[in-house]
Chain A
Amino acid sequence: MTVRWTELVIFTLLFALVTGLGFYAARWKAASLDHLDEWGLGGRRFGSWVTWFLIGGDLYTAYTFVAVPALMFGAGAMGFFALPYTVLVYPLVFLPLVRLWSVSRVHGYVTPADFVAGRYGSATLALLVAVTGIVATMPYIALQLAGLEAVLRTMGLNGSGLAGHAPLFVAFVILAIYTYQSGLRAPALIAFVKDTLIYLVIIAAVIILPAKLGGWGSIFDAADAKFAATKTPADGILLGANNQLQYVTLALGSALALFLYPHAVTGALASRSRNVIKRNMVALPAYSLILGLLALLGYAAIAAKTKPIVNAATGRPDSNTVVPMLFEGQFPAWFAGIAFAAIGIGALVPAAIMSIAAANLWTRNIYKVYLRRGATAEQECKQAKIASLVVKLGAVVFIVFIDPQYAIDLQLIGGVIILQTLPMVAIALYTRWFHIWGLVAGWAVGMGWGLVMLYGIPNPTTGKQHFGGSALALDKLSILGWHPLSGSPIQIYVGFVALLGNLLVAVVMTIMLRQMRVFNGTDETNPPDYLEDEGSPRLRPVANMLR
């Protein structure tokens, strides 16, 4: 094991810079950080630019820089589903998201679970949304950890056993401390640095790499040749007969899931007005272009004959290291160092935002409701800060116990979980038709079925029998032991199947419960609440958002 010193020094310097920024952020647009609205939503004063960097920094993560290219490297065209995913998501959420912003500002909601509590007058439903959000966030943060670790291992910090995780642990503790200190301001400020670095690296990569490797044409040809030489018919630079449905359901499922995650909602709620959100829905696809080009670095790595590093902790080649190794092989050491820093910081920013959002859920919807009803603003904020640490630890647990074939499956497993809140949150923005207990039943079925399906998917590379991925062959699709599509090798995204089950049960139960006239909670929102905008006297002033 050799340490690459140049890269490590540059990485460390840039990392120290953002850490300094993280602590400085506490004083940026200063206000009391003992208040959850300040710590957890940055005072809700972010304009278009800050929001763009914040949501962008939050959505395009180690997922984009490490996990998607790794999937392209290993499986080919399948991995490109991330592009239609990020094309679809903005038009899909454009209308619902501004409705959520308005109703949240009128009633003082800070989390998706707050909204559900107000909309349905049901503490049970809010609890389900809160718990689901917190749990679904953990594997997503775990993905960030995997990305950061890939960079550290590439730089030579590739120890075995528990000691091998030490550098990652140090990086994460630093992150935890400044998140604790500065709240949402830290990642918002760092996101500027991160994006500057990322753009620099990307532009260099997409111009220089194809030139060095004989142009995009020969990069695609090299990838084609590699996939043609493998025995499995599932890979290739085009989709096959069995994975088109998977491609479509992954793209659509991911798009529907994205703005259900508490961190994405936090980013949107932190903006100043409806127009800020709308303008961002127009501008955010600039990141999609980059995502697509980064995904193709997986093919560039094939053309450059990049070999992933053998992870000393597992003894197997770590596909997450293909992009770092590509930079290592094709660029001078100093530039590789900058690229590694970009990837590393690009993993930390979203990890911070995600843990803050999950912490908001814990504090507002579990701690204050079930554990300490009369909590003061300071106590509440303290809880959120501690919870943000606990969520990060949960992510570590996830990465230890769940070891799928591709790191991207961590995010996709999170997607299976968070998608089950779609009927309660997204559909509720438009209609109160669903019955509370119908939604609860749908959630239970979707979650249970989804987890059973995930449990049954093996990992072909490690030989482990469970939680090896997120694609289910229709042949294996079982409805209480009945296999309606037995024999079909066509693959589908588990999250999509589970959501359909969820919706079906919720609809059937709702029809029954409505027939029986079971009490369906009290709705504290009114139709005009969903349309209010900045400047309206009905919006709660930020200072007394907390009820």
Chain B
Amino acid sequence: MSSGSSSARPPSRPVPRWSGWNLLLLLPLLSLVTPLYNSDKPRLFGFPFFYWLQFMFIPLGVVCVAVVYLRTRERR
């Protein structure tokens, strides 16, 4: 996808890539706060809260990384 576009770039131009969007990558660290989810109730489809909430962190992580990827993608 990117192969055609990047060859047009001047060779040694370093692009400053820091973007505020990168901070989103810190959000999944919430999954380390055990008191947040260390309980049985409420259950969802039989899964205790401890388990289903942690499963929910997977889509959260995917969304955070995907947004950062799309927002910081190298432009042509």
Chain A interface residues (CB < 8 Å from chain B): 77, 80, 83-84, 87-88, 90-92, 94-95, 210, 215-220, 237-239, 244, 247-248, 251-252, 273-275, 278-279, 281-282, 285, 288-289, 292, 296, 527-528, 531, 533-538
Contact = CB atoms under 8 A, between A and B. Distances in A.
Contacts of B58: 83, 87, 285, 288-289, 292
Contacts, number: 126
Contacts of A215: 46
Contact of A95 (B11, B12, B25): B25
Contacts of B26: 91
Nearest to A279: B69
Given A238-B39, A238-B50, A87 B2 contact: no
A282 B71 CA distance: 13
Most buried by B among A274, A533, A538: A533
Interface string B1-19: 1110111010110110100
Closest 6 A/B residue pairs (Cβ): A217-B46, A216-B46, A535-B6, A528-B14, A91-B25, A535-B7
15 contacts: A77-B50, A87-B28, A92-B25, A95-B25, A210-B46, A216-B47, A238-B38, A247-B34, A275-B73, A278-B69, A282-B69, A285-B58, A288-B58, A292-B54, A536-B6
Given A220-B47, A292-B55, A94 B25 contact: yes
Contact of A273 (B3, B15, B65): B3
Given A87-B61, A220-B46, A528-B14, A95 B2 contact: no
Nearest to A47: B1
Given A83-B55, A84-B57, A285 B46 contact: no
A219 B73 CA distance: 44
Interface of B: 1-3, 5-7, 9, 11-12, 14-15, 17, 22, 24-29, 31-32, 34-35, 38-40, 43, 45-48, 50-51, 54-55, 57-58, 60-62, 64-66, 68-69, 73-74
Contacts of A533: 2, 6, 74
A533 B6 CA distance: 7
Contacts of B68: 94
Q: In terms of DSSP, what is the predominant structure of the interface of chain B?
A: helix
Contacts of A218: 46
Contacts of B69: 94, 278-279, 281-282
A388 to B, nearest CB: 32
Contacts of A531: 14-15, 17
B37 to A, nearest CB: 9
A15 B28 CA distance: 39
Contact of B61 (A237, A278, A285): A285
A94 B73 CA distance: 13
Nearest to B14: A528
Contact of B11 (A80, A278, A538): A538
Nearest to A527: B14
Contacts of B40: 237-238
B65 to A, nearest CB: 5
Contacts of B14: 527-528, 531
A218 B45 CA distance: 11
A430 to B, nearest CB: 12
Contacts of A535: 2-3, 5-7, 9
Nearest to B43: A217
Contacts of B39: 238
Contact of A84 (B2, B31, B64): B31
